[in-house]
Structure formats: structure tokens, C-alpha cells
Structure 1
Amino acid sequence: MYVKILSATVTGIDGQIIEVEVDLASGLPQMTIVGLPDNAIREATERVRAAIKNSGYQYPLGRITVNLAPADLRKEGSAFDLAIAIGILACSGQLAHNVFNNCVVLGELSLDGKLKSVTGVLSMVHVARKAGYQRILLPLSNAFEARLIDGIGVVPIEKLSHLDVNSDDFIDVVNYKQHLSPAELSSLSDLSPLTFSCDFSDVRGQYHAKRVLMVAAAGMHNIMFVGPPGSGKTMLIRRLPTIMSPLASDEALEVMKVYSVAGRWNDQTKLLRERPFRAPHHTISYAGMLGGGTIPKPGEVSMAHHGILFLDEMPEFTRQVLEVLRQPLEDRYVLLSRARASLQYPTFFTLAATMNPCPCGYYGDQTDLERCQCTPLMIRRYRARISGPLLDRIDLHIEVPRVKYTVITGESTDDQQAIYTSDYMRNRVITAQMLQKIRYEGLGIRYNSELTGRMLRLYCGLSKEANHLLHRSFDAMGFSVRTYDRILKIARTIADLEGLTSIETPHIAEAIQYRTLDRSI
């Protein structure tokens, strides 16, 4: 007898519907799984046999052949266990197979028949809904994640024994005993304001750096802080998420897909609204940064999608790791090709980095007790750890000087300390991004940092005076064409923060001063 059950797998961060075909024929008792399965799927033979027996069903004696179609696509993971088990039970007449015709089945089986959670459920449920299927049957532990996708019925079960063998109706066949409570379901649509444990009001002084961070957040620009040890570079950037706008619904779905595929989505009871903040250690390998494995999994650049990738003390990272960032920063995606698979992951992130101005850290910030001992050659070699092409892709790089004692203790009165709070800065960022959303509606982009080519010339036109200033700076500082483009994008964001439609000379002047590392030593 032949039965077909629908299941799904994940390719990259996108789901793929898989047909699990089960054939039961007379012959020596054995099960064969074909269709390019990995080792985890081949081992399903023993898991499914034990789960069926320990759940009170009869394991059929005969030759069982399982085909995973399309057969030319490599499959991995244990999400096919439940579909294979249902197919075997339907072939042997213990379940009515026709009730699963419009249902996608996911789940890993333990030996006692309990269902375990699987990764990538969000992507698989999403593709099932787009394909027009009405229901998805999966483990109870994955129900919260699946409920985030509207338009498809989510049917969670805990055990294989919860399938009723005496019914021909789907609702009766899936005799599940637990449901999501109204309180649990309401948490999925929680739109309460984001709260953070830190705030920019905690940082004394550094108003210039706070202003730059506001520009970076408003336009999703890459940023680098250069300054002596203890000047507050790391503390400032770790507060950058507090001023960024919440994830839009489509952005949240993409981010949750990445985390679901990687198995790193810890709190599945809430819709992800806070932008990711990833801060890998400088000993990370290039595979950890970009993604890797026989069948590649997302790396840090993808885990930071629609969020922030923070590289503290950037020159301490190996040259190989830093250079692999060039293509993801430019193309907003990374293509990982391995012998068994070639997968694409999204990498639209804001790069935030810090570095000292020289090996000792005190160049340009000498005191009587701390003087820079580095020669110009040593400083150039230190800064050369970050290649010119990579530095060109960082929109904003500014100096963060040492904070004076009177500022730390609050002895110097300054109204800006009260103004530059995270709430104030976030409100200005959201207002600027609303202008960008209206301006770029229907163009397939959302932020100023995404402007290229014709759109850059269309939306970043300069007055005669602003163009003259940029021309002089271009020749004097030896800007590259990429730097020229990034100055225009920064100026566009500064104008948006001021609520202006045109780019004026002060906006260009401010954008140029944010190119600290373009100046010679």
C-alpha cells in the first residue's frame, strides 16, 4: 500500500515542502529511506520503530520504503520522524490517511513516542501557508513559534499515542490534550514599549559621540569609534540598541527565521521586536563569523540581521575574519557554498566597531603621566590591520576623547546631559525613519544606507554651495568614490533628523567631519 504525507525542511532560511512517500509491501521486514537523507534521517528507522511500538500501535511486518521528494534535494534533521510514522500507520490501516491530505506534519520522535521540538519551524510553517495548506501538525513545544504565522491552523500534540485510530475526521484523529491559553496567545501580539536596563543618560559627556550614534541609528549606517582606553567607546555602543526603532513585522519575521534555523531563539513565547545585538570575541574564526558547517548554518553576520554587529577592538580580529565582512556589508547577503549545499543567508546589519588610535592607545591624548610612545610607522602599521576597502565601507568614524573630571562628577553644568536620553534620541530616530519610509515607499528600500546609483543622485541632490564644499574636501582628503557616496547618505540622514527635505551645506560639513580615519597621521 502507498501513502503520501506532507512535511517540510529548511534551505537557508526558507522552507521547502517535502513529500514523504511510504510504501508497504510484502517481503523481509526492513525499512529503507531514500531521497538524499542525512545520518539523522537514516537513524529515524530505529526511532520510528520503537516509538510506534511503545505508543500502543502495531509495527507492520513487511518491506517499508520511504522516499523523500524531491529526491535531488539534500535533507537533514529529524523533523520527518512524525511524518514517516504516520505514513507507516496509514499504510498498515491503523490510521485514516486521507485526513492528512491538506496537512503538513513536523516533529522528532523519542523512543517512547513523545514529540521533541525541531529547529526552523517558523520557515516551514511560513512556506506551508504560502503553498495553501490549511493545517500543520507539530510538537507542542513548537506551537508558540508556529502561531506567529497567521492564516494556517496550528495543531500541537505531545505524543504519537494522541492520534486516534478509530476516526476519519481530522479534529478527532488528532486528539491533542493541551491548548495554548488566551494569556499565552496574547503574548504573541505584545506591542508594549521596549524596555532596557541601560540608558544614554547614564553616560556623562560625549555629546558628539551620542549625536553620531543617533545619525547611525536613523540611517542604519556603519560606525567606528576611535579613542584612548577608558573614554567610553564600548559603553556608548552597547547602548546603541536603546535608541533604535523596533523591528517592523517583515523584519521581525526574517530575524526570527534566522534564529529559528540556528536553534538560537530562546523565548518563543514573544514576538521578537528588539533588534539583535551581536558582540563576538576577537578570537572568532571566519566560519563562525560568516557561517559554516557541512550544510552551512548562519554565522554572526546573519545572526545580526536587521540589528547590530559589534566588533570591540576591531584591529585585534584576524585579517581573514575582517576581510570576509566586505561582501556581506556591500551585498547585504552571504552565499555559502559547500560540497553538500550552497545556501544564502541575509546580512543586513549595522557594523559598530571600536579601536584605539595607536598600539599603546594614547596617540593624540597625552597627559603628564601617559604619553604615546608609538612612532608614525607603528601607528600606520596598527591602523593597516583594517584594510582600506573595509574602512571605506564604514560610514562614520570619529574620535572619542577622554572625559574630563568635572564632567564625570557633574560639577560642570550642561543642559545636554538632560536632553540626550535614550527616549529622546529614539523618538528622533523613529521620526527620521518615518520620513525615509514615506520617501522610499514602493522602491524596495527602507533606509538611507541602502541608496545606490540613480536613487542616490535623485534623493541626495546638493546645492551649489554644498557641492563646492564637498568638491574641495574630495580633492584635499583624497576620498574614494565609495566615500563620496557614503558622505551623501550621511548628509541625507542628518537632514532627515532635522526634518528637512533638502541637503544643505551644514549637513555636508557635518558628514565630512565624521571621516576621522581618512585624515593622514
Structure 2
Amino acid sequence: MILGELGLSEALRAVTGAIPAAIAAGKAGRQLILPLAHQQEMALIGHGEVLLAEHLNAVCAFLHSGEPLASSQAVEVHAPDLNNAPDLADIIGQEQGKMALEVTAAGGHNLLLMGPPGTGKTMLASRLAGLLPPLSNEEVLEVAAINSLVSATDMTLGLWHTRPFRAPHHSASMTALVGGGGLPKPGEISLAHNGILFLDELPEFERRVLDALREPLEAGEIVISRTRAKVNYPARVQLVVAMNPSPSGHYQGTHNRLPVQQILRYLGKLSGPFLDRFDLSIEVPLLPPGTLHKQWQPGERSADVRARVLTARERQLARAGKINVRLTPPEMDIHCRLHEEDAIQTGAVCACLAPHFEGSKNHRRSGAAARYPARPFGGGNQLSLHGQVTEPLTPRFRVKH
């Protein structure tokens, strides 16, 4: 089997879909010939069923007289150096936001950041990738296969283990975000598979585009159906979003004189079922006056937080065989069971927020998010949260009349 684009000079050029084709050929026990331009990608797969050729003449010589072609060789790919990545220590203040990032990274949760402009929401979101563990070899292959479907360009070997961080503009169409087209291509949610999908200025996205993310966020995959094809693409991502509390960017008060109806209309662009996909919702407030002019003391480094995140993930895998965000409701009842006093407090908070909230999936997952900072009570799986669980359950939107 031969896959490639033939130039006018009979040179073989790179094509999209080389990695999925090589994986399929390996499973079927078939030999595949690819352009030499795919050498680095094939090194990631590293099985001898893939041969590489630079020119059509070389392929003809191989088929007619058995002239040897280059074969793909496995190359050891080391974990990326994250020391040059954006560091959490660069952010002044916002300790609650930093703690939310750590909980998000440890449990694989979705996170909503809300606050006025200039408070560091985007800075916080950009630091999340540096807190996550490197991709495993299996995850690397999944990410590379998806990227191969949209681009024939080789990636640098040193970047293979870097988790994807996709940040589409708020003008992105539904096809761009979830995938599609006449010949279905993966969208941003699939290109962010095993990584982070960051949506800034959340209410500026079209409501129908955001609602199209609901099912893939829950299922971890997206199904694109067309007349000629039905395609499943993986879409297991951590969704992180940032938004302002009103069209002016500020809360009600000195900086915001907008009518309440206009603010509600702005927030109404986000549907309730879509917001239920977020396990943590955190306010990122303005810093106290003069904070930025004081002598700056660097905060905790991303490397130190990442070490705790790795330890937490190891505990989760040892306890349940999966990270917290993937726990089923029965597993949450086992591993995230609250101490009686905290269960009563949490129920009271839920009753104040919304009558239907207690017992909902979001309520359960918020408890799983609180599992990270909680302390075990009595040495078992029962947790004493000491008030910390109410933070993920606080109202997302507050409009003062």
C-alpha cells in the first residue's frame, strides 16, 4: 500500500492522515510506503511495516527489483522541558485562583474563571498545562494521529509529550470547534484531546456552538454524521473558560452602570446544562489598590505544584484506577463520602442555590473536586471538608439590584 502526494518532478510529498494509516496498516499486517517527509512521525510508531521513499523512482525500483527502501526506526522521545513554560510564580496574588488551578490539574476537572478585565484570568489558564503530567506514550500517539488528520507538517520530536493547549477565538464556528465539513475533519475539541481547551470571553461565543460541546464533554468523544460518512473523534479535554461578569467587564457598582436586564441578557447566552459541565467556578477579583506597586515576592513555582499534582494523581489511580473527574456516581459515593456534619452543610448550600441542585451530577463532581484539598476523617474514605466544599458550589453569577 502506497500513500503520498506525487509532485510534477515525481517527488513524493507529505499528506494528511499518515499516522492513522500507519497504525491501521500495522494492525492489518500490511506494508505501507510513505514519503520520506514523514520520517519523524513514523519514528513515533516505530514498527518495521512502514517504508519511506523520497521519489517515485525509488518505489518503482523497490517493487520491480527489490531495491531497499528506508524503514522507520523507533526513537526514544523524552518528556518536554517545562522550565521555560509560563510559570505560576509570575502571577501576583490570586491565591484562590492558583489553588483552583491545582485542584483542576489534580482531578482533571473543568474550570470557569470569572472576573473583571486585567485580573489575570488568561494568565492563570495559560499556566495549567505546566501543572499537568506529561503525556504517556499511548496518549502521544492519540494526539499525533489527530493532528496528522489536519496537517501534513511534522512536529518537533521534543514537543510530542507536550499536552495540547488550544485557544480558539470567540468568532469560531461550530464546525471549527466540534469538527465537520464535507469530508469530516476534527475540530478544536478533538485537537485538544488529552490536553486543554481554553475559551476566553465565553459569552461572546454563539450559544449553539457552546451547547454543541455538552455531549462530547460528557462522553469524551464526538460523533460527526454526514451523508457519506460517520466519524468518531476522541475529545477528552479539560475545558477552562474565562469571562467577565457583565458586558462592561465589571460587577454592579462604581464601574458598572448597566441595567440589570442587560447584564442578565449577557449572562443568559450561557445555558444551564452547559454551565453544569464545570466542576469548579472561581471568581478572580481585582487586586487591592497598590498591590502591583509593592516589592514583588515570587510565589510558588509551577514545578513545586506539579510535584503535588503528580502525587495526587498517583493516589487517585491507586485508589480507584482513574482520576477523580472520571469517577462514576457510585464510585463518588464510595471515595468522596462526606462526614455527616459536612453533608448537612453541603445540602443546605445546595438548597439555597437551586432546589434541583442537590443530588445532581454537578453536585457530585463538585464533591470530587473538593476531594483534593479535603482531609481524611477517621482514616477511611470519609472526608471532613471543614467548609472547603462550599467554594465549588458558590453561585456562578451574582447580579446586584
TM-score normalised according to structure 2 size: 0.90
The range that moved more, 201-210 or 450-459, is: 450-459
Structure 1 position 266, deviation (Å) = 4.4
Structure 1 position 262, deviation (Å) = 1.6
Match of 2:339 among 456, 460, 463: 463
* Cα contact 1:242–1:426 (8 A) shared by 2: yes
The range that moved more, 295-304 or 268-277, is: 268-277
Structure 1 position 419, deviation (Å) = 4.5
* Cα contact 2:164–2:194 (8 A) shared by 1: yes
- Indicate whether 1:476 and 2:352 are aligned: yes
- Indicate whether 1:242 and 2:118 are aligned: no
The range that moved more, 297-306 or 155-164, is: 155-164
Structure 1 position 381, deviation (Å) = 1.9
Match of 1:400 among 266, 284, 298: 284
Q: Secondary structure, in 3 states, of the residue corresponding to 1:238?
A: helix
Kindly provide the CA deviation profile for residues 107-165 of structure 1, in whole angstroms up to 9, marking residues without a partner as x. Answer: 222233211112111112112222234x4322111121112113434321111212465
For 1:434, the equivalent position in structure 2 comes to 314
Q: 1:503 to 1:495 in 2, by over 3 A?
A: farther
Greater radius of gyration (CA): 1
Q: Secondary structure, in 3 states, of the residue corresponding to 1:348?
A: coil
Match of 1:488 among 355, 367, 373: 367
Structure 1 position 496, deviation (Å) = 8.7
For 2:383, the equivalent position in structure 1 comes to 504
| Residue type at the aligned position of 1:511 | V
Partner Cα distance (1:118, 1:195) in 2: 34
- Indicate whether 1:514 and 2:398 are aligned: no
| Residue type at the aligned position of 2:51 | V
Q: Secondary structure, in 3 states, of the residue corresponding to 1:344?
A: strand
- Indicate whether 1:173 and 2:66 are aligned: yes
Q: Secondary structure, in 3 states, of the residue corresponding to 1:510?
A: coil
For 2:305, the equivalent position in structure 1 comes to 425
* Cα contact 1:218–1:433 (8 A) shared by 2: yes
Partner Cα distance (1:462, 1:394) in 2: 21
- Indicate whether 1:206 and 2:86 are aligned: no
Superposition map of 1:188-227 within 5 A:
188-191=76-79, 193-227=81-115
* Cα contact 1:227–1:401 (8 A) shared by 2: yes
Kindly provide the CA deviation profile for residues 80-108 of structure 1, in whole angstroms up to 9, marking residues without a partner as x. Answer: xxxxxxxxxxxxxxxxxxxxxxxxx3222
| Residue type at the aligned position of 1:252 | V
Superposition map of 1:150-189 within 5 A:
150-163=46-59, 165=61, 173-176=66-69, 186=75, 188-189=76-77
Partner Cα distance (2:228, 2:308) in 1: 47
* Cα contact 1:363–1:374 (8 A) shared by 2: no
Q: 1:167 to 1:310 in 2, by over 3 A?
A: closer
- Indicate whether 1:388 and 2:266 are aligned: no
Structure 1 position 371, deviation (Å) = 2.5
Superposition map of 1:40-439 within 5 A:
105-133=2-30, 135-163=31-59, 165=61, 173-176=66-69, 186=75, 188-191=76-79, 193-263=81-151, 266-270=154-158, 272-363=160-251, 366=253, 370-411=254-295, 418-439=298-319
Structure 1 position 469, deviation (Å) = 1.6
Partner Cα distance (2:152, 2:88) in 1: 28
Q: 1:270 to 1:128 in 2, by over 3 A?
A: farther
Kindly provide the CA deviation profile for residues 279-307 of structure 1, in whole angstroms up to 9, marking residues without a partner as x. Answer: 11111111111111111100011111111
| Residue type at the aligned position of 1:131 | A
Partner Cα distance (1:179, 1:166) in 2: 12
Q: 1:496 to 1:422 in 2, by over 3 A?
A: farther
Partner Cα distance (1:195, 1:466) in 2: 40
Partner Cα distance (1:380, 1:166) in 2: 69
Q: Which runs of 5+ in 2 are unaligned?
A: none
* Cα contact 1:283–1:317 (8 A) shared by 2: yes
* Cα contact 1:259–1:265 (8 A) shared by 2: no
Superposition map of 1:8-19 within 5 A:
none
Kindly provide the CA deviation profile for residues 17-48 of structure 1, in whole angstroms up to 9, marking residues without a partner as x. Answer: xxxxxxxxxxxxxxxxxxxxxxxxxxxxxxxx
CA RMSD across the alignment: 2.6
Q: Which runs of 5+ in 1 are unaligned?
A: 1-6, 8-104
Q: 1:248 to 1:167 in 2, by over 3 A?
A: closer
Partner Cα distance (1:515, 1:391) in 2: 12
Match of 1:454 among 308, 330, 334: 330
* Cα contact 2:134–2:163 (8 A) shared by 1: yes
Instruction: Name the count of aligned residue pairs.
Output: 395
Between the two structures, name the one with larger relative contact order (CA 8 Å, sep ≥ 6).
2
